[in-house]
């Protein structure tokens, strides 16, 4: 003869979460079932039953409220994590992976201009004043970009001192004008001490028809940026696909 195991426990042995309410209901039914039931007893039993269910409703509302709060907090946390996964920690502009994703999505449906800019001789700022001052310069640059670009485009940081501005639906002439406004704003910006020098940036612009892939759009802008660096910095250049293959990206 085999012994019984815990798996033989019937499912109806689970605790009854409404036992108090069930007992009160059965008590009220039992009293009401007698033809000679005392009306006072019936009222007492009914009041007891109502009290149990009012308590149950209060507890239910409390649990629902707690669940709603937990859901709101979870939603807020999810949004915060999604934001942090797509934005640069220092500047709060799009990070590199988000720039790539945003560009791919934009170019699936329409033309878009990619502007790539690099802070001129930024290494000297870090070498002379240290990285905290360099970070302050980067934040100043981003403030200039935001002031000029506004809601017209998406700003991203793709490297230490390298940024992109994506302009969906833009043509080249309008984008070049906007890039020059950004260049002038950066050149005229007064940075806090101890930075005692004018900070400038070089710009490369590529105009891309719909269905251009990211690497092509970025590569064109990068080649134009190299042309601006080689041409003396603090300039805006645009990419001509005819000469891109002959150029090699340059540095600072």
What is the arithmetic mean of pLDDT over 44-68? 75
What is the arithmetic mean of pLDDT over 119-146? 96
CB contact set of 14 (below 8 Å; sequence gap of 6+): none
Is the confidence at residue 128, as pLDDT, over 50?
Answer: yes
Residue 6 binned pLDDT confidence (cut-offs 50, 70, 90): very low
Is the confidence at residue 2, as pLDDT, over 80?
Answer: no
Q: For the ranges 13-17, 43-47, 60-64, 245-249, which has the lowest average pLDDT?
A: 245-249
Do residues 105 and 97 touch, judged by C-beta distance below 8 A? no
Strand partners, 237: 204
Q: φ, ψ for residue 15 (rounded to 5)?
A: -60, 140
Is the confidence at residue 1, as pLDDT, over 60?
Answer: no
151-197: per-residue pLDDT in tens? 999 999 999 999 999 999 999 999 999 999 999 999 999 998 898 88
Distance of CA 126 to the CA centre of its chain: 29
Handedness of CA 124, 125, 126, 130 (dihedral sign): positive
Do residues 103 and 155 touch, judged by C-beta distance below 8 A? no
The pTM of the whole model exceeds 0.75: no
Q: What is the pLDDT of residue 75?
A: 75
- Cα–Cα distance for residue pair 20/33, rounded to 1 Å: 20
Do residues 239 and 247 touch, judged by C-beta distance below 8 A? no
Looking at mean pLDDT, say which of 28-32, 34-38, 49-53, 201-205 comes out highest.
201-205
Question: Which positions are catalytic?
Answer: 161
Is the confidence at residue 5, as pLDDT, over 70?
Answer: no
As its CATH architecture, domain 96-244 has 2-Layer Sandwich (3.30)
Is the confidence at residue 3, as pLDDT, over 70?
Answer: no
- Cα–Cα distance for residue pair 69/116, rounded to 1 Å: 43
What is the arithmetic mean of pLDDT over 225-233? 96
Do residues 144 and 182 touch, judged by C-beta distance below 8 A? yes
Domain boundaries, the chain: 16-84, 96-244
Q: For the ranges 27-41, 76-90, 201-215, 218-232, which has the lowest average pLDDT?
A: 27-41
């Amino acid at each position: 003869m085999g012994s019984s195991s815990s798996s033989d426990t019937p499912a109806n042995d689970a605790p009854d979460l409404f036992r108090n309410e069930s007992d009160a209901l059965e008590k009220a039914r039992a009293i009401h079932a007698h033809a000679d039931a005392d009306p006072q007893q019936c009222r007492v039993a009914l009041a007891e039953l109502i009290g149990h269910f009012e308590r149950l409703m209060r507890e239910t509302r409390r649990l629902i409220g707690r669940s709603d709060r937990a859901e709101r907090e979870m939603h807020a946390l999810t949004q915060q994590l999604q934001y942090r996964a797509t934005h640069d920690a220092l500047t709060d502009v799009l990070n590199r992976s988000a720039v790539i994703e945003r560009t791919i999505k934009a170019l699936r449906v329409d033309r878009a201009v990619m502007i790539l800019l690099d802070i001129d001789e930024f290494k000297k700022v870090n070498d002379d004043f240290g990285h905290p001052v360099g970070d302050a310069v980067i934040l100043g640059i981003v403030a200039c970009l935001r002031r000029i670009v506004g809601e017209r485009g998406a700003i991203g940081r793709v490297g230490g001192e390298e940024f992109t501005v994506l302009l969906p639906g833009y043509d080249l002439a309008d984008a070049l004008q906007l890039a020059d406004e950004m260049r002038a704003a950066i050149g005229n910006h007064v940075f806090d001490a101890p930075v005692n020098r004018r900070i400038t940036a070089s710009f490369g612009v590529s105009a891309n028809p719909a269905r251009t892939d990211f690497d092509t759009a970025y590569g064109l802008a990068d080649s134009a940026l190299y042309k601006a660096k080689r041409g003396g910095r603090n300039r805006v250049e645009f990419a001509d696909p005819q000469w891109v293959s002959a150029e090699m990206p340059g540095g600072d």
